[in-house]
């Protein structure tokens, strides 16, 4: 590969803002992938992929749609304004039916011999599960319908109709699989509570990525560009990502470009420092604003940033919470100063309040209060900010 080709490759291999579309760039998620496989291969089974924002749900659904041979896939990205009829219209429009062979396929436009399936929908304004069943009846092919960003649908009626459709298709049309994808902490939040549907709905939770999965993204991506990374910087990228693959992509992309532009073949501290500044600059505006609101002060001697830095580098329990003791210890490690618990209380309480955008959330009572960042992505931002401050001081 020429230098120019490598630079181009660095920007395509690492895509912080776009879901993965090809198998060679998809890493980890073995357990989730196996479950999805089960759902698609088991007759009458449907599935739902749910989890936090930005953990890789769409990427998982995209790869699922690539690997199943002989399955026609139709993927729809839902939005707030849609109703049950419009999401199915979009989904069925992507599937064409061959009038001669009575087979279906995936085509962008219809030809004289083919017709898009949405044309079989009744004209009436609202439709229900039975109408979908009737459009899909008499089809022998295996079909996978993916409804991404289903969380943007707030209308409970749409959710109920979708649950009814899943149940009906499960009972009567075992070749069809519906995959619902969206941000949620539990499945009920995404599609509502429907006990009769639970048995035919395989739930796939996508947690934040593990350190070893993030490591695979780094190593697999860099191998495709033909460069390496030294071990301390690799560790830092994993630490700063806090389980979110988009930060891994963002840091790797800029570090790789900087490394190549400096005619090197190994990413070092210089490249990562550059990438961190770029990542801070390119972070979502909402994250930058949240940090600004949390730390804004007219006085010079405040500890808002310090307390946020301390929380970001504190020990955490399995739910990501830290105790006040953990925060004090980490504050001591960072500054060498012993602050009184009372002084720190003031800052922590303020950071939990509306006036500071509730950047920190608190659970528990009295001696057992614990804290964490309300938006987990802010932790990554703060860890990068700390690193950037440190290298700029030198």
Place of tokens 């509570």: 193
Size of residue set near Mg ion by CB under 5 A: 1
C-alpha distance from residue 8 to each of 169, 181, 225, 375, 394 (Å): 45, 31, 9, 33, 32
Residue 314 interface partner, choices ligand ATP, Mg ion, none, CB cut-off 5-8 Å depending on type: none
Judged by CB under 6 A, which of 6, 236, 249, 254 binds ligand ATP? 249
Work out whether 57 is an interface residue with ligand ATP (CB under 6 A).
yes
Least distance (Å) between residue 237 CB and ligand ATP: 13
Rounded Cα–Cα distance for residues 108 and 329 (Å)? 60
27 vs 145, beta carbon nearer ligand ATP: 27
Work out whether 246 is an interface residue with ligand ATP (CB under 6 A).
yes
Residues 265-304 touching ligand ATP, rule: CB under 6 A, are none
Output the smallest distance, CB 88 to ligand ATP, in A.
21
d(CA 14, CA 63) in angstroms, rounded, equals 16
Q: How many residues in the shown chain lie near ligand ATP by CB under 6 A?
A: 22
Q: Toward ligand ATP, which CB reaches closer, 55 or 91? A: 55
Extract the tokens encoding 297.
């002060």
Minimum distance, C-beta of residue 196 to ligand ATP, in the bound complex (Å) = 28
Distance CA 161, CA 178 (A): 13
The residue number with the shortest CB distance to Mg ion is 58
Residues 169-208 that bind ligand ATP (CB under 6 A): 183
Strand partners, 146: 75, 179
CB of 21 to Mg ion, least distance (A): 12
From Mg ion, ligand ATP, none, interface partner of 16 (C-beta below 5 to 8 A by class): ligand ATP
> Distance between CA atoms of 236 and 267, rounded to whole angstroms?
12
Examine residue 55 and tell whether it contacts ligand ATP (CB under 6 A): yes
Residue 94 near which of ligand ATP, Mg ion, none (CB within 5-8 Å, type-dependent):
none
Helix (H) or strand (E) holding 90: helix 84-93
Window 104-133: contact mask with Mg ion (x via CB under 5 A): ------------------------------
60 and 20 Cβ atoms separated by less than 8 Å:
no
Backbone angles phi, psi at 85, to 5 degrees: -70, -45
Is there binding between residue 348 and ligand ATP (CB under 6 A)?
Answer: no
Which entry of ligand ATP, Mg ion, none binds 357, CB below 5 to 8 A by partner kind?
none
Q: Which does 54 bind (CB under 5 to 8 A by kind): Mg ion, ligand ATP, none?
A: ligand ATP
Q: What number of CA atoms fall less than 13 Å from residue 23's CA on the CB side?
A: 7
With vertex at residue 141, the alpha carbon angle to CA 84 and CA 96, rounded to the nearest 5 degrees, is 60
Residue 291: alpha-carbon gap to chain centroid: 21
In this chain, which stretch among 34-42, 52-60, 96-104, 344-352 interacts with ligand ATP, using CB under 6 A?
52-60
Q: What CA–CA distance (Å, rounded) separates 131 from 173?
A: 13
Contact residues for 205 (Cβ-Cβ < 8 A; gap 6+): 32, 50, 51
Q: Which of residues 28-67 bind Mg ion (CB under 5 A)?
A: 58
Report the nearest approach of ligand ATP to the CB of residue 220 (Å).
Answer: 8
**Does the footprint of ligand ATP cover residue 59 (CB under 6 A)?**
yes
d(CA 294, CA 330) in angstroms, rounded, equals: 19
Contact, 72 vs 141, CB < 8 A? yes
Helix (H) or strand (E) holding 104: strand 104-105
The nearer residue to ligand ATP, 132 or 190, going by C-beta atoms, is 190
Could you say which of ligand ATP, Mg ion, none residue 26 binds, taking C-beta under 5 to 8 angstroms by partner kind? Answer: ligand ATP
Taken in order 357, 359, 364, 369, the sign of the CA dihedral is negative
Among 78, 87, 95, 217, binds ligand ATP (CB under 6 A): 217
Binding flag, residue 27, ligand ATP (CB under 6 A): yes
Alpha carbon 34 to chain centroid, angstroms: 19
Find, among 6, 14, 8, 3, the residue nearest to 275 by Cα. 14
- Using alpha carbons, select from 379, 287, 374, 383 the residue that is nearest to residue 334: 383
**What does 387 bind: ligand ATP, Mg ion, none (CB cut-off 5 to 8 Å by kind)?**
none
Q: Is 54 in the site for ligand ATP (CB under 6 A)?
A: yes
CB nearer to ligand ATP: pick between 27 and 147: 27
Chain residues in the site for Mg ion (CB under 5 A): 58
Chain residues in the site for ligand ATP (CB under 6 A): 15-16, 18-20, 25-29, 53-59, 183, 217, 245-246, 249
């Amino acid at each position: 590969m020429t230098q120019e080709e490598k630079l181009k490759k660095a920007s395509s291999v690492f895509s912080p803002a776009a879901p993965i579309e090809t198998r060679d760039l998809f890493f980890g998620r073995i357990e989730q992938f196996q479950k999805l496989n089960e759902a698609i291969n088991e007759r009458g089974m449907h599935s739902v992929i749910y989890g936090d924002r930005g953990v890789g749900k769409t990427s998982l659904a995209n790869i699922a749609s690539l690997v199943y041979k002989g399955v026609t896939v139709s993927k729809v990205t839902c939005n707030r304004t849609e109703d049950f009829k419009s999401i199915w219209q979009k989904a069925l429009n992507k599937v064409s039916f061959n009038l001669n062979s009575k087979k279906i396929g995936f085509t962008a436009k219809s030809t004289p011999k083919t017709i898009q399936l949405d044309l079989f929908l009744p004209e009436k304004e609202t439709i229900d599960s039975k109408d979908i069943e009737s459009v899909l009846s008499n089809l022998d092919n295996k079909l996978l319908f993916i409804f991404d960003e289903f969380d943007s649908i707030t209308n409970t009626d749409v959710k109920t109709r979708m649950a009814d459709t899943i149940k009906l298709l499960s009972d009567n049309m075992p070749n069809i699989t519906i995959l619902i994808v969206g941000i949620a902490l539990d499945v009920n939040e995404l599609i509502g509570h429907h006990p009769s549907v639970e048995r035919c709905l395989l739930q796939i939770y996508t947690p934040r990525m593990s350190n070893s999965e993030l490591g695979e993204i780094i190593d697999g991506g860099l191998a495709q560009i033909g460069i390496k990374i030294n071990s301390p910087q690799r560790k830092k990228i994993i630490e700063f990502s806090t389980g979110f693959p988009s930060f891994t992509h963002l840091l790797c992309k800029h570090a790789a470009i900087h490394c190549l532009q400096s005619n090197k073949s190994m990413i070092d501290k210089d490249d990562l420092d550059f990438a961190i500044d770029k990542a801070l600059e390119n972070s979502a505006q909402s994250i930058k604003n949240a940090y600004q609101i949390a730390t804004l002060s007219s006085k010079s001697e405040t500890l808002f940033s310090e307390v946020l830095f301390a929380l970001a580098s504190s020990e955490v329990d399995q739910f990501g919470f830290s105790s006040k003791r953990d925060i004090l210890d980490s504050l001591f490690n960072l500054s060498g100063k012993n602050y009184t618990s009372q002084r720190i209380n003031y800052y922590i309480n303020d950071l939990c309040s509306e006036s500071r955008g509730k950047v920190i959330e608190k659970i528990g009572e009295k001696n057992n209060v614990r804290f964490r960042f309300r938006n987990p992505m802010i932790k990554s931002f703060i860890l990068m900010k700390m690193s950037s401050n440190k290298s700029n001081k030198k």
